[in-house]
Amino acid sequence: MVDKLPDNLRGRDLLSLHDFTAEEIMQMLDLADDLKARQKKKDPHQYLQGKTLGMIFQKSSTRTRVSFEVGIYQLGGQALFLSSLDIQLGRGESVADTARVLSRFVDGIMIRTFAQSDVEELARYSDVPVINGLTDLLHPCQILADLQTIREKKGRLAGLKLAYVGDGNNIAHSLLFGCAKTGINISVASPDSYKPNERIVALAREDAALTGAKIEILTVPAEAVKGADVVVTDVWASMGQEAEQQERARVFAGYQVNEELVSHAAKGFIFLHCLPAHRGEEVSTGIIDGLHSVVWDEAENRLHAQKAVMALLM
């Protein structure tokens, strides 16, 4: 059990996993495991007693809000929920001024929003750590929870193969970084017009060169899933893309994670989904509710991974 936390990450922002070394990511995961064990034993771990986290939500969420709010409470602090209706951000006050003001009131800021540039600007002008709770480009907190879950179930990270099937979205982008940093081989299968951002892929390849991880960007799901230890998918139309739902359903029709597709995976594969899931669309009911699914452990680990982030950064 950790009694005193290290200070090497104190004051840092979590904008992207690409910004952290492999050792720093493992430090977060190790602390997440420790905090999870302590929580299960009802062992107090109030590292952030008296501290306040400002939570800006321009995109609504179940898991992000509850896990951060409960997490800061378990660490001895408190959360302040700020929706787009509660603050002036986006209604006349600039991101920079919002950062300057909130920095005088709170000890850390979590933001869940649309543009990655807004999170980066918030961090640039904030005097307290800023945590990316999700943008259209990246979702680092989710992938820390995914990595924690994979290590729990598989006993290791380096050398495993992860297959992501679906839209080359924020989950795919952060998985590319997370896998590359920790030595997981990753194969992404997406339709041609929905492949991951090329700049993200290039940066992930730079990270992979340091760990030996292999990165494949494919179009055929069965090729990506072949021999995979971990199979991951996400909704075909994310928040803000509702108008594209019908077109995306047509394009992604062959990208459902179902019993036939996972027959190409390793025998003991595990299935991950960041949720919410649309059963019968991106994943079959038999897979998400089946023996290989660990999505509920994955959802729980959002709490523990984010507690580790807050404890180390704030």
Task: For residues 229 and 239, give the distance between their C-alpha atoms in angstroms, rounded to a whole number.
Answer: 29
Query: Of residues 18, 63, 65, 139, which has the active-site annotation?
Result: 139
Q: Could you confirm whether 142 is annotated as catalytic?
A: yes
Q: What DSSP string describes 233-273? A: E--SS-TT-GGGHHHHHHHTGGG-B-HHHHTTS-TT-EEEE
Tell me which of 27, 142, 148, 306 is the catalytic residue: 142
Is 12 annotated as catalytic? no
Instruction: Say whether 248 is catalytic.
Output: no
Q: What is the DSSP letter of 231?
A: E
* Cβ 229 vs Cβ 160: under 8 Å: yes
Quick one: 90 exposed, middle or buried, by C-beta within 10 A (0-12, 13-18, 19+)? middle
Instruction: Check if 139 is active-site.
Output: yes
Helices and strands in the chain: count of H runs, count of E runs? 12, 9
Distance, in Å, from the CA atom of 275 to the CA atom of 139, rounded to the nearest integer, reads: 13
Cis peptide before 196 (omega within 30 of 0): no
192 is catalytic: no
* Max Cα distance, the chain (Å): 55
Catalytic residue among 12, 112, 151, 304: 112
141 belongs to the catalytic site: no
The catalytic residue among 234, 248, 273, 292 is 234
Residues marked active site are found at 112, 139, 142, 234, 274, 302
